[in-house]
């Protein structure tokens, strides 16, 4: 090791008595791990890696005067590191016993050399990636180390989750809320395949998402190595951009394309990194930026389709606007258009909250999770103007009315049936052009008095339903009536699937809240991981509320500890009816026996307390308001468990 005076000395034990004679222990000095031995009165620091397979010698034992590797029994002398009869020993390092402990001497660490991972992570950050949800493990350590360096610079936030499925759902929710990709991160094999469901959730709801996965070393790919899964093949159906990083790849270009595909196509990108590539020296390669690599997305529609839409609007007396999740970044102009046309505005369930239910033209959600207000106006209309919606069965937009459809994706236009005026264009640009062309010569009816009248009818009906009580729990109507009164106006509300979602869509009267859900995939368990994604996306600057049933929360309930660990200000409203109530309902509708839908639950409030969160459990309607106020006003993670009646939805 050279001159001892030039070594950096690292304390590895506070007291030599911590390691008894004929014992070994793993210690760390700087970034290096050692096997510290105590043999024949001497302390020695040996390289901790057995030269054969890297076995941790500090987990071995001294038998008959020799240190035995715990993995395959190879022997080394405890003080010299020599392997008797062989030439493949391990290096011994200078060790000193001082009054305040045991020290190991090391040469000064070399300055960090930029790696392939460094270049790729910096490129991703340059393109706007600022949040990663994931789990660090043995096949992604080099890439994780590169992310750590970006986090230390304040350019990246890494959130360590408890299950990779939650990482993908959180990243999906981040993309849905912001239109920008977050990343989910996992090890090779099962860690990566756990992310598959959340990746599909992002894909079908057109949310940009970046999946980053570790992979076994290239030399053992295809040999059936431990945790080897061909991730490129596995993710072929879900990832629009899907590549394995290789030694001779254009690394910064791959990172650029991954972000570009995710952002422009609003889709999933996947990069997988073989173990040895992650710490490969980058050489002269530099990180890229988006400069000159992306154009404005303000696409103007073709004049022919725009003119057809204008003619239909001019001929209309009772137009109705229907907005979907794709219109979420364009609502200011859409509401101006609605006010110009005196047109009621309905939303899809995924678009809930895009217009306040208290706006004079707001009609709530259309379809299975909706209000009778929205369906009434659709049926009474003479023209539908559909913006950023997908015509799903859940929404039930009729094909029996003249229709204008505007979407950025030409394949989404007239997807299921003929549309009278399909308009390909960016929604804000198209709406602006419509307003300019229509001017002030509008001859539509003023439908605002009818909107107010239909809301009055519906609110009276809701009050009647709130009186129902079978003595088996609180009704969902009462829960969401209270939540609508108490939830902050600017909250992000993440909802799971099941009866809780249907009830929220129907009974929660929104102000300016944003709503996130697993729309087309309809995946149970979405709500709480999505709330973590929303918290990260808003940088903690907006209240975040998760709404889930006991079945959904049970899928990722360990993530409550993640929320507490990172100081997330998330409130969970948990409807506990000890049943998969939506499935029971479907079994009855299919004239089948109700079977295997009952659940055995813990006391979720006590569980929350054990995780370090606030937990409150209520069983009576008159407890709702006080308990909900306490939960919503709590600083930090909080859970309100409400024992509900499965039939009062």
- Tokens representing 307 are 């003119």
Which residues are bridge partners to 271 per DSSP? 212, 243
Q: What's the whole-number mean pLDDT along residues 280-297?
A: 93
In the sheet that holds 131-134, the strands lie side by side as: 157-160, 131-134, 182-186, 209-215, 268-274, 241-244
Q: What per-residue confidence (pLDDT) applies to 227?
A: 78
581 Cβ neighbours under 8 A, 6+ residues apart? 498, 499, 549, 597, 646, 649
For residue 4, name the pLDDT band (cuts at 50, 70, 90): low
Q: What per-residue confidence (pLDDT) applies to 335?
A: 97
Domain boundaries, the chain: 4-106, 116-278, 303-449, 468-643
For residue 2, name the pLDDT band (cuts at 50, 70, 90): very low
Q: E strand or H helix at 37, and its extent?
A: strand 32-39
pTM more than 0.75:
yes
Q: What's the whole-number mean pLDDT along residues 195-202?
A: 98
Q: For 264, list phi and psi in degrees, rounded to 5.
A: -75, -40
**DSSP letters of 494-561?**
EE-SSHHHHHHHHH---SS-EEE---SS--TT-HHHHHHHHHHHTTT-S-EEEEEEHHHHTTSTTHHH
Separation between Cα atoms, residue 210 and residue 129, nearest integer Å: 9
Per-residue pLDDT tens digits for 597-625: 999 999 999 999 999 999 999 999 999 99
Q: What's the whole-number mean pLDDT along residues 149-167?
A: 98
- Tokens representing 403 are 């229709």
Question: Angle formed by the axes of helices 116-126 and 251-265, to 10°?
Answer: 30
Average pLDDT, the chain: 95
Query: CATH topology of 4-106 equal to that of 116-278?
Result: no
Q: What's the whole-number mean pLDDT along residues 245-273?
A: 97
CB 543 within 8 A of CB 571: yes
Fold of 116-278: Rossmann fold (3.40.50)
For residue 648, name the pLDDT band (cuts at 50, 70, 90): confident
345: exposed, middle or buried (Cβ count in 10 Å: 0-12, 13-18, 19+): buried
Separation between Cα atoms, residue 487 and residue 468, nearest integer Å: 24
**Nearest 5°: CA angle at 457, between 453 and 459?**
110
CB 510 within 8 A of CB 352: yes
Print burial letters for 559-592: b (CB count within 10 Å at least 16), e (below 16).
bbbbbbbbebbbbbbbbbbbbbbbbbbebeeeee
Q: What's the whole-number mean pLDDT along residues 279-296?
A: 94
How many Cα neighbours within 13 Å face the side chain of 41? 0
Q: What percent of the chain has pLDDT over 90?
A: 90
Strands 544-549 and 345-347: unpaired
Q: What's the whole-number mean pLDDT along residues 166-178?
A: 98
**DSSP letters of 238-256?**
T-SEEEE--TTS-HHHHHH
Per-residue pLDDT tens digits for 45-95: 999 999 988 899 999 999 999 999 999 899 999 999 999 988 889 999 999
Say whether domain 468-643 belongs to CATH 1.25.40.10.
Answer: no
Q: Which CATH architecture has domain 303-449?
A: 3-Layer(aba) Sandwich (3.40)
Q: How far is CA 259 from the centre of its chain?
A: 16
- Tokens representing 97 are 């016993």
Q: What per-residue confidence (pLDDT) applies to 613?
A: 98
Least confident range of 50-54, 258-262, 385-389 = 50-54
Q: CA dihedral defined by 331, 334, 339, 344, rounded to 10 degrees?
A: -90
Separation between Cα atoms, residue 67 and residue 332, nearest integer Å: 72
Separation between Cα atoms, residue 210 and residue 243, nearest integer Å: 12
222: pLDDT strictly greater than 80: no
Q: What per-residue confidence (pLDDT) applies to 86?
A: 86
Q: What's the whole-number mean pLDDT along residues 340-347?
A: 97
155: pLDDT strictly greater than 90: yes
CB 462 within 8 A of CB 482: no
Q: What per-residue confidence (pLDDT) applies to 245?
A: 96
Least confident range of 85-94, 383-392, 528-537, 544-553 = 85-94
| CATH code for the structural domain at 4-106 | 2.102.10.10
Q: For 29, list phi and psi in degrees, rounded to 5.
A: -130, 120
Q: What per-residue confidence (pLDDT) applies to 201?
A: 98
Separation between Cα atoms, residue 153 and residue 126, nearest integer Å: 13
* SS3 track for 441-465: CCCCCCCHHHHHHHHHHHHHHHHHH
* SS3 track for 126-165: HCCCCEEEECCCCCCHHHHHHHHHHHHCCCCEEEECCCHH
Q: What per-residue confidence (pLDDT) applies to 173?
A: 98
CB 416 within 8 A of CB 390: no
1: pLDDT strictly greater than 70: no
Q: What per-residue confidence (pLDDT) applies to 5?
A: 61
Per-residue pLDDT tens digits for 558-577: 999 999 999 999 999 999 99
Q: What's the whole-number mean pLDDT along residues 85-106?
A: 93
Per-residue pLDDT tens digits for 353-386: 999 999 999 999 999 999 999 999 999 999 999 9
For residue 242, name the pLDDT band (cuts at 50, 70, 90): very high
């Amino acid at each position: 090791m050279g001159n001892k005076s030039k070594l950096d000395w690292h304390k590895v034990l506070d007291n030599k008595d911590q390691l008894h004679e004929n014992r070994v222990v793993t210690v760390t000095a700087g970034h290096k791990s050692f096997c510290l031995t105590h043999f024949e009165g001497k302390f020695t620091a040996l390289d901790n890696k057995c030269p054969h397979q890297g076995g941790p010698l500090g987990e071995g034992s001294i038998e008959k005067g020799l240190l035995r590797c715990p993995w395959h029994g190879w022997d080394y002398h405890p003080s010299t590191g020599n392997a008797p009869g062989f030439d493949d020993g391990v290096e011994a390092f200078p060790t000193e016993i001082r009054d305040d402990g045991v020290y190991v001497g090391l040469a000064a660490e070399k300055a960090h050399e930029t790696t392939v991972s460094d270049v790729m992570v910096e490129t991703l950050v340059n393109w706007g990636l600022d949040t990663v949800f994931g789990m660090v493990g043995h096949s992604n350590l080099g890439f994780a180390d590169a992310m750590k360096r970006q986090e230390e610079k304040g350019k990246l936030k890494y959130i360590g989750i408890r299950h990779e499925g939650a990482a993908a759902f959180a990243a999906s929710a981040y993309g849905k809320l912001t239109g920008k990709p977050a990343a989910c991160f996992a090890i090779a094999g099962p860690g990566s395949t756990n992310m598959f469901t959340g990746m599909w959730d992002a894909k079908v709801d057109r949310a940009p998402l970046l999946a980053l996965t570790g992979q076994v070393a290239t030399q053992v790919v295809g040999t059936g190595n431990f945790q080897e899964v061909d991730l490129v093949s596995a993710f072929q159906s879900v990832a629009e951009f899907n590549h394995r990083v290789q030694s001779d790849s254009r690394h910064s270009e791959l990172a650029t394309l991954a972000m570009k595909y995710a952002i422009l196509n609003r889709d999933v990108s996947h990069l997988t990194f073989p173990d040895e590539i992650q710490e490969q020296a980058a050489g002269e390669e530099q990180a890229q930026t988006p400069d000159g690599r992306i154009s404005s997305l303000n696409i103007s529609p073709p004049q022919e389709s725009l003119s057809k839409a204008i003619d239909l609007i001019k001929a209309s007396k009772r137009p109705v606007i229907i907005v979907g999740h794709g219109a979420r970044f364009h609502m200011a102009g859409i509401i101006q258009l609605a006010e110009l046309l005196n047109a009621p505005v309905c939303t899809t369930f995924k678009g809930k909250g895009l217009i306040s239910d208290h706006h004079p033209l707001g009609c709530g959600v259309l379809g299975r999770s909706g209000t009778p207000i929205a369906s009434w106006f659709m049926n009474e209309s003479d023209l539908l103007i559909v913006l950023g919606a997908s015509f799903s069965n859940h929404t039930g937009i009729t094909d029996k009315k003249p229709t204008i459809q505007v979407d950025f994706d030409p394949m989404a236009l007239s997807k299921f049936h003929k549309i009278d005026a399909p308009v390909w264009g960016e929604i804000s640009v198209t709406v602006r052009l419509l307003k300019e062309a229509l001017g002030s010569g509008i001859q539509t009816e003023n439908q605002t008095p009818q909107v107010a009248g239909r809301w009055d009818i519906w609110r009276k009906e809701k009050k009647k339903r709130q009186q129902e009580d079978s003595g088996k729990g609180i009704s969902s109507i009462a829960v969401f009536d209270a939540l609508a009164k108490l939830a902050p106006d600017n909250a992000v509300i993440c909802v799971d699937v099941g009866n809780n979602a249907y009830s929220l869509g129907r009974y929660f009267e929104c102000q300016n809240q944003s709503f996130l859900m697993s729309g087309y995939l309809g995946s149970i368990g979405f709500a709480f991981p999505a709330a973590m994604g929303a918290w990260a996306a808003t940088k903690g600057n907006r209240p975040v509320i998760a709404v889930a049933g006991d079945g959904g929360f049970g899928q990722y309930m360990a993530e409550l500890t993640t929320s507490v660990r990172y100081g997330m200000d998330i409130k969970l409203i948990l409807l506990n009816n000890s049943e998969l109530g939506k499935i029971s309902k479907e079994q009855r509708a299919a004239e089948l026996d109700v079977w295997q839908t009952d659940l055995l639950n813990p006391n979720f409030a006590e569980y929350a307390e054990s995780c370090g969160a606030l937990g409150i459990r209520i069983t009576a309607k008159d407890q709702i308001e006080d308990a909900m106020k306490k939960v919503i006003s709590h600083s930090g993670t909080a859970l309100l468990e409400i024992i509900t009646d499965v039939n009062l939805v």
